[in-house]
């Protein structure tokens, strides 16, 4: 019984340090993970890759807010993954066509924990096979090919919307 309790406590502490959250700022992610292992720009977005506690975390920032966050647990026994990470070859790993095959499945309890930490006090509703949406329909989550993804699907504010787009 004590072993089970200790395992639950350990998993909760482990998960607490992993939970980047949708809508966090770049600085909040830096505080949570340290410096990114790699980063690149993609149009108006900045993509940062972190590695902490055995998890890869990719965050896409738009206007200093995380609008997409991916979580994956890499298979450290994969020779390509191990070789590139050991040599700080993060961009090789990230751009590999085999990146999906380098990840282990996430246990259900970790998926649930990460959904809860990205809920911003909203309930998740299942909308498909391994697909969920938050109550206000502003954030969606999916678990595909061993990667758990959260993404902003609708912005609440229209301050950047040109007036000629009213009604769209």
What pLDDT shows up at residue 157? 54
More confident residue, 103 or 91: 103
Q: Is the pTM of this model over 0.85?
A: no
| Whether residue 136 has pLDDT greater than 80 | yes
Q: What is the H or E stretch that residue 47 is in?
A: strand 45-52
Torsional sign, CA 105, 72, 42, 124? positive
27 token code pair:
């600085």
3-state SS, residue 22: coil
The domain segmentation of the chain, as residue ranges, is: 2-157
3-state SS, residue 79: helix
In angstroms, what CA-CA distances link 151 with 33, 48, 84, 148, 154?
A: 19, 15, 28, 10, 9
In angstroms, what CA-CA distances link 86 with 30, 44, 52, 90?
A: 22, 31, 14, 9
Residue 163 DSSP one-character state: G
- Across 5-14, 15-24, 58-67, least confident range: 5-14
Backbone angles phi, psi at 92, to 5 degrees: -65, -45
Mean pLDDT value of segment 125-143: 95
């Amino acid at each position: 019984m004590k072993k089970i309790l200790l395992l639950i406590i350990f998993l909760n502490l482990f998960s607490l340090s992993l939970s980047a959250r949708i809508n966090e700022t770049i600085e909040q992610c830096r505080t949570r993970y340290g410096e990114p292992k790699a980063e690149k720009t993609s149009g108006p977005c900045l993509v940062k890759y972190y590695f902490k506690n055995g998890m890869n975390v990719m965050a896409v920032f738009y206007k200093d807010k995380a609008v997409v966050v991916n979580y994956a647990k890499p298979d450290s026994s994969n020779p390509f993954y191990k070789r590139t990470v050991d040599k700080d070859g993060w961009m090789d790993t990230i751009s590999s066509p085999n990146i999906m095959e380098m990840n282990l499945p996430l246990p259900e309890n970790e998926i649930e924990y990460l959904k809860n930490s990205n809920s911003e006090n909203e309930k998740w509703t299942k909308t498909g096979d391994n697909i969920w949406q938050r109550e206000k329909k502003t954030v969606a989550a999916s678990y595909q090919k061993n990667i758990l993804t959260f993404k902003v699907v609708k912005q609440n504010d229209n301050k950047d919307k040109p007036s000629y787009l009213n009604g769209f």
